[in-house]
Amino acid sequence: MRQVVGAALRICYRDCGPIRRRALTSEPTLARIAADGGLRLKASGAWIADHADALEALIVAAPASVALDVAGVERLDTFGAYAIARLKGQAELTGVSERQRGLLEAVARLPHAAPAGVKPRNRLADALESLGRALSAAGADAVDFAAMLGRVSLAFLHALRHPQAFRLRSIVHHLDRVGVQAVPIMAMMTFLVGAIIAQQGFFHFRKFGAEDYVVDLVAVLILREIGVLLVTIMAAGRSGSAYTAEIGSMKMREEIDALSTMGFDPAEFLILPRVLALVVAVPALTFIGAVSALAGGGVVAWLYAGMSPPIYIERLSEAVSMTSFEVGMIKAPFMALVVGIVAAVEGLKVEGSTESLGARTTSSVVKSIFLAIVLDGVFAIFFAAVGM
């Protein structure tokens, strides 16, 4: 018996449920009734968000009336109450049940103007706005860079006047990290770059019978441009990002604020040793990288072009001038200074989240590489002007 009753209930719910749900969610209607004082409107059905399109159509097509009867409204939610408030206007609202009165009164206090359409955006104005914001951000970065350079310079002068404040142990520690430990990767990368330049040079110059000039090409490119630029880019990715992450982590843990509270200058205590270590390490790495790149070119000349090592060295001594070597070595400390200052600036901008730390580390690497390339172009123009 129990199983029969259960089956009957299930069949009833399956067959009658949709009918019952359709009855509870019947389409909203709005009837027009002529009255002595003017036109009256009578709302009925389900005034809910499920029938938003139908309600909007009713509101748009409804004429002005003297009264709005909502006694026939079966279901009402906030959307329907808002529709009734828009439809009511100056008309009298009648037939309001106690269950619906509170919602209708609350919605009646809200503005009922129809939502305005989205104003089309001006692409030219958007482009100008983006350009303005980019220029403003670039100007702020330039100010921050100059301020940090000034702080580091003052800290360096203070350390020269007071040698006991010079943190030699910290400088040696960072010099080992950014210099000595970076020698293997720098040497390997520059060796490969030198070998690639030499291989491409022999491959293309062979068509013109000018293979001997490949040595000149490799020497000039490596010593003047590629060597120092490649080392600087790798230093920005390896050491600059580490500096930003370290200083940013200290900023997140409020260690830098603690140093300032105890009377220590963070620029002298944290930033100066790192920047000096980078300024000393990058020229040394540039020299090692140049030698490694020239060795890579020699290996390719020997194995790929059949140029024996004595001939390569002799040709190299004729192609290399002290001026080319000086140009590369002069650029190195300035590029290292740019990488160190940018890393410190971005590290101090880190806020209290790991997302900010990651964003500032990425920004440090990108800005360092960009400024290093720009500085290399400025040096190229300067050396061309002075005849070097």
Q: How far apart (Å, rounded) are the C-alpha atoms in residues 259 and 242?
A: 20
Query: Where are the strands (E) in 250-370, listed by range?
Result: none
Q: Domain boundary at 92, 108, 124, which?
A: 108
Q: Domain boundary at 43, 78, 108, which?
A: 108
Same domain, 94 and 6: yes
Block residue for tokens 């390569």: 312
pLDDT given for residue 92 in this prediction: 77
Which CATH number belongs to the domain containing residue 27 in this structure?
3.30.750.24
pLDDT tier, 79 (very low <50, low <70, confident <90, very high otherwise): confident
pLDDT tier, 371 (very low <50, low <70, confident <90, very high otherwise): very high
Domains contained in the chain, number: 2
Same domain, 214 and 290: yes
**Residue 46 backbone phi and psi in degrees, to 5:** -95, 110
Q: How many helices (H) and strands (E) does the chain have?
A: 16, 4
Residue 141 lies in a domain: no
- Amino acid occupying residue 327: V
Same domain, 285 and 226: yes
Averaged pLDDT, 234-252: 90
Residue 314 lies in a domain: yes
pLDDT given for residue 115 in this prediction: 53
Of all helices (H) and strands (E), which one includes residue 73?
Answer: strand 67-76
pLDDT tier, 36 (very low <50, low <70, confident <90, very high otherwise): low
Q: How far apart (Å, rounded) are the C-alpha atoms in residues 295 and 194?
A: 8
| DSSP code at position 388 | -
Q: Is residue 230 within 8 Å of residue 190, measured between CB atoms?
A: yes
Residue 137 lies in a domain: no
Same domain, 254 and 332: yes
End-to-end CA distance of the chain: 107
Asked if the model's pLDDT at residue 40 lies above 50, the reply is yes
Closest C-alpha to 84, from 66, 58, 61: 58
**Host domain of residue 223:** 149-386
Residue 131 lies in a domain: no
**Residue 35 backbone phi and psi in degrees, to 5:** -130, 170
Same domain, 190 and 267: yes
Averaged pLDDT, 53-73: 80
Q: Domain boundary at 108, 132, 157, which?
A: 108
Beta bridge partners of 74: none
For residues 108 and 205, which has the higher predicted lDDT (pLDDT)?
205
Same domain, 228 and 355: yes
Q: Is residue 174 within 8 Å of residue 273, measured between CB atoms?
A: yes
Same domain, 212 and 333: yes
Same domain, 94 and 164: no
* 92-94, strands of its sheet edge to edge: 29-35, 38-47, 67-76, 92-94
pLDDT given for residue 116 in this prediction: 54
Closest C-alpha to 68, from 98, 89, 46: 89
CB within 8 Å of 106: residues ≥ 6 apart = 81
Same domain, 229 and 96: no
Residue 215 lies in a domain: yes
Q: Is residue 299 within 8 Å of residue 336, measured between CB atoms?
A: no
For 244-284, write each residue's pLDDT tens digit: 999 999 888 888 888 888 878 888 888 899 999 999 999 99
Same domain, 228 and 319: yes
Q: C-alpha 376: how far from its chain's center?
A: 25
Q: Is residue 298 within 8 Å of residue 313, measured between CB atoms?
A: yes
Q: How far apart (Å, rounded) are the C-alpha atoms in residues 206 and 200?
A: 10
Same domain, 245 and 315: yes
| DSSP code at position 101 | H
